[in-house]
Amino acid sequence: MAKKAKKSKARKAVKKPARKPARKAAARKASRPKAHDALLAPIKGATVREIGGVMLEVVPAGAARVKRMIYPPGFKWSSAMKSIVGTDRCMHAHVGFLARGEIHIEYADGCVEEYKAPQVVAIDPGHDGWVVGREPVILIEFDFEGDTVSRLGMRTEHGH
C-alpha cells in the first residue's frame, strides 16, 4: 500500500483583541446578586418597629428580651430621640454585642466611651450617643425592659 502524503495546512496568524478583564470582571460582579447578610435578615418571631430612625426588633427570651437595633449613619440620640422620649439624655442601660459599626457615647460629666465592632458594650443610663462614620451600627442587646439596671447589677447613672 502506498502511503498518502499528508497535506500540511498553513495556519494564518489571527490576532485577537486584548482582553479588558477589569471591566468584564466588574460587570460580572455588578450583575451577580448580592451576598446574603445574616445580620440584616428577618428575625423569626420578632416585633419590628422604627423609632427616631432606628430599626428595632424585639424577641422575648425567658424573662428577658433580645433586641437588634440598627442605627443609621448620622444618627445622634439627642437630635433624633430627645423630643420623642422627653429627657435630655438616654436613660436606658444598654448591654450587648456591637456587631457592626462604631458608636461614640458621652455622659453629662464629659466622660466619653468609644465602641467599635466587634465589641461587647455596657452603657450606663444618662448618655448621649451617635454613630461614627458612614456605616450603620448594628447592636444586639439584652434587656429586662425597665428592670435592666437592677437585674444586670448596673449603675442607675454613670459615675466614676
- Which CATH code fits 47-151? 2.60.120.10
pLDDT digits (tens, 9 = 90+) for 68-127: 999 999 999 999 999 999 999 999 999 999 999 999 999 999 999 999 999 999 999 999
Instruction: Please check the confidence at residue 6 and state whether its pLDDT lies above 80.
Output: no
Query: Would residue 45 be called left, alpha or beta, if left means φ above 0 and alpha means ψ between -120 and 50 degrees?
Result: left
Residue 158 near residue 105, CB atoms below 8 Å:
no
